[in-house]
């Protein structure tokens, strides 16, 4: 297919039906190197456009070339013009092969590309069998609905997913959390260490706690305990830990109360460093593990005396009663 010269002003760029705007988080690094190349070598390759029935050219590939040409006040640009009858799946495949490295940078980019394909009218069956399989996603119809829900998330959440390289499982959870909770967590981003897994845990526990108590995220944020953590001079890491514990205690009040009681019992034992007591903190297993670390045989006797003490036996009985 040979290239022809067309007026740049006749090309729809942002308004192109094949624009990836909102469907792809691009890498700034690539952008800089491409600009460098244009400056030194000029535009070497033709852009690709698709002509619609109103004779408008929808840009498929070459956004940066168009931008450079406009900056250089060039009026015409070399372009390969695809007929309006070109199957949309062929165009999507073309875009994918051109932008594969960027699309593959994060799970959210792949999901957004699936949404883009749907938006330009690619058939669901093709998206499932060609795209999902290629991206390593399970090809089932419900997944396309999940993709749509993910695409409906606020832009800053999607960008966060891209930057923090959220896994598929972590992204799939996000639409199930109320938006106001997610946005609040984003607001705390400068105060706490928000990773993908922390965000998932905090959002999940907050959602269930607030539903159970019939309260809002605003109510929660205005609580004194929460304000104390967020406004404290602790490091972001310590703040995150405190906030996690606070929310966990509110989400699991019975577990927290019993585990705290057991911790106090263990602490009162003043065990030597080489002996530790562990239990199932979900309280499901009625079982206490006693671990003794022995480095020198001479210290065996002392450890055994501690284990055999009446105080230890009482404590174990008491912990087992709690479990």
CB of 286 to another protein, least distance (A): 4
Phi, psi of 304 (to 5 degrees): -65, -35
d(CA 176, CA 174): 5
d(CA 126, CA 176): 27
Only one of the segments 60-68, 89-97, 123-131, 251-259 lies at the binding site for another protein (rule: CB under 8 A); that segment is 251-259
Q: Strand pairing partners for 250?
A: none
Pair of tokens at residue 153: 């998330």
Only one of the segments 54-62, 254-262, 263-271, 297-305 lies at the binding site for another protein (rule: CB under 8 A); that segment is 254-262
CB of 110 to another protein, least distance (A): 21
d(CA 140, CA 319): 48
CB of 285 to another protein, least distance (A): 7
Binding mask 166-205 for another protein (x = CB under 8 A): ----------x-----------------------------
Q: Which is nearer to another protein, 176 or 293 (CB)?
A: 176
44 in contact with another protein (CB under 8 A): no
Q: Which is nearer to another protein, 12 or 283 (CB)?
A: 283
Strands 11-12, 47-51: pairing is unpaired
How many residues form the binding site for another protein (CB under 8 A)? 18
Only one of the segments 50-58, 91-99, 158-166, 278-286 lies at the binding site for another protein (rule: CB under 8 A); that segment is 278-286
Selected from 3, 258, 275, 307, the binder of another protein by CB under 8 A is 258
Is residue 57 within 8 Å of residue 51, measured between CB atoms? yes
For residues 268-289, one letter each, b for 16 or more C-beta atoms within 10 angstroms of the residue's C-beta and e for the rest, the string is: ebebeeebebebeeeeeeeebe
Pair of tokens at residue 204: 């999940």
251 in contact with another protein (CB under 8 A): yes
Pair of tokens at residue 31: 């952008």
Handedness of CA 139, 142, 148, 149 (dihedral sign): negative
Of 279, 280, 281, 307, which is closest to residue 292 (Cα–Cα)? 307
> Residues 280 to 309: which contact another protein by CB under 8 A?
282-286
Q: Which is nearer to another protein, 138 or 286 (CB)?
A: 286
Selected from 63, 110, 158, 209, the binder of another protein by CB under 8 A is 209
Pair of tokens at residue 275: 């002996």
Is residue 47 within 8 Å of residue 7, measured between CB atoms? no
Q: Which is nearer to another protein, 207 or 299 (CB)?
A: 207
Selected from 80, 88, 120, 255, the binder of another protein by CB under 8 A is 255
Q: Which is nearer to another protein, 159 or 323 (CB)?
A: 323
Question: Would you tell me which residues interact with another protein (CB under 8 A)?
Answer: 176, 207-209, 211-212, 251-255, 258, 282-286, 323
């Amino acid at each position: 297919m040979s290239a022809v010269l067309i007026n740049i002003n006749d090309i729809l760029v942002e308004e192109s039906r094949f624009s990836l705007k909102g469907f792809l988080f691009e890498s700034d690094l690539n952008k800089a190197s491409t600009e460098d190349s244009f400056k030194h070598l000029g535009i070497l390759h033709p852009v690709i456009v698709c002509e619609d029935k109103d004779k408008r050219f929808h840009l498929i590939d070459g956004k940066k070339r168009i931008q450079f040409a406009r900056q250089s006040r060039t009026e015409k640009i070399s372009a390969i013009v695809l007929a309006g009858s070109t199957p949309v799946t062929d165009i999507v495949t073309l875009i994918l092969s051109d932008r594969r490295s960027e699309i593959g940078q994060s799970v959210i980019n792949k999901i957004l590309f699936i949404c883009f394909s749907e938006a330009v009218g690619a058939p669901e069956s093709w998206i499932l069998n060609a795209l999902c399989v290629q991206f390593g996603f399970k090809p089932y119809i419900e997944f396309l609905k999940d993709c749509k829900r993910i695409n409906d998330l606020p832009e800053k959440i999607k960008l966060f997913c891209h930057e923090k390289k959220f896994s598929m499982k972590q992204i799939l959870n996000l639409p199930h959390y109320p938006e106001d909770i997610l946005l609040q967590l984003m607001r705390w981003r400068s105060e706490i260490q928000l990773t993908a897994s922390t965000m998932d845990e905090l959002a999940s526990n907050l959602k269930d706690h607030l539903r159970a108590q019939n309260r809002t995220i605003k109510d929660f944020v205005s609580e004194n305990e929460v304000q104390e953590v967020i406004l404290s001079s602790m490091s972001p890491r310590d703040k995150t830990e405190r906030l996690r514990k606070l929310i966990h205690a509110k989400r699991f009040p019975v577990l927290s109360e019993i585990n705290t009681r057991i911790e106090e019992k263990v602490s009162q034992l003043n065990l030597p460093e080489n002996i530790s007591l562990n239990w199932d903190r979900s309280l499901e297993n009625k079982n206490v593990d006693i671990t003794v670390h022995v480095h020198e045989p001479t210290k065996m006797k002392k450890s055994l005396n501690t284990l055999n003490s009446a105080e230890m036996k009482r404590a174990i009985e008491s912990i087992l009663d709690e479990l």
